[in-house]
Structure 1
Amino acid sequence: MTSPAPTLRPGDQLASTACATRVVVVRARADGNPVLTCGGNPMVPATGAPPAPTTSAAPVTLLGKRYVDADGTFELLCTSAGAGELACDGIPMTLKAAKPLPASD
């Protein structure tokens, strides 16, 4: 019998098993635990993650960028770039756009 996956909270660090991508949860859903994948493989807690496979592919997940799900209720910050695409519940996550600054006089 397997125990259910722990609920993700802001500050949790996750790692990909498919590439070198590592992320930190910035905003999490209150209603449950989404299924996060990178490159089609589930993401795991960064503390027990196996070493990232080496690849020469161009990064798809960019260092320092924020990614959000389709509803904008779940947000990740990329702390290590990788070749895999982030997805939440099977739907690709999108790059979060910067908020425009107010005009100055």
Structure 2
Amino acid sequence: MDLKPGSRWKSAVCDVEVVVVKPPKTEATLECGGYQVIPHAEAKPEGKAIAEDFAEGSAAGKRYADEETGLEVLCTKAGKGTLTIGGRPIGAKEAKKLPASD
């Protein structure tokens, strides 16, 4: 899986679509809904459903990052699948706090 910056991927089982912001430092497999994501231009495979353990959803406009691999993706289309790396859920990044102004 070649997760280059700017590459577009989509879930094989739901509506989630992502763009890679930062590539992983090591080899990594990005998944959504329990299945490996596929290139954006590919057709979705038939007969697959979201795995029950990976159905928490992903929100559009949020960045998801994995500290272990360094991978960061931007979710461009929301869906019911959870983004994972090797079966390990990756969480949404929190927005940076701006300094208080007086």
Q: Which bin holds the TM-score, normalised by the shorter protein?
A: 0.7 to 0.9
- Mapped pair 1:91 → 2:88: yes
Structure 1 moving runs of 4+ over 3 Å: none
What CA distance in whole angstroms lies between the structure 1 residues aligned with 2:76 and 2:33?
A: 16
What CA distance in whole angstroms lies between the structure 2 residues aligned with 1:70 and 1:14?
A: 20
Where does structure 2 lack aligned partners over 5 or more consecutive residues?
49-54
Query: Secondary structure of 1:47's match?
Result: coil
Percentage identity across aligned positions? 43
Where does structure 1 lack aligned partners over 5 or more consecutive residues?
none
Give the alignment of 1:7-18 within 5 angstroms: 7-18=2-13
Aligned to 1:36: 30
Paired letter, 2:60:
L
**Superposed displacement of residue 79, structure 1:** 0.7
TM-score w.r.t. structure 2 length?
0.81
State the Cα RMSD in Å: 2.5
Paired letter, 1:67:
Y
Which is higher, the Rg of structure 1 or of structure 2?
Answer: 1
TM-score w.r.t. structure 1 length?
0.79
Query: Secondary structure of 1:34's match?
Result: coil
CA contact (8 A) 1:15 1:46 kept: yes
What CA distance in whole angstroms lies between the structure 2 residues aligned with 1:102 and 1:11?
A: 30
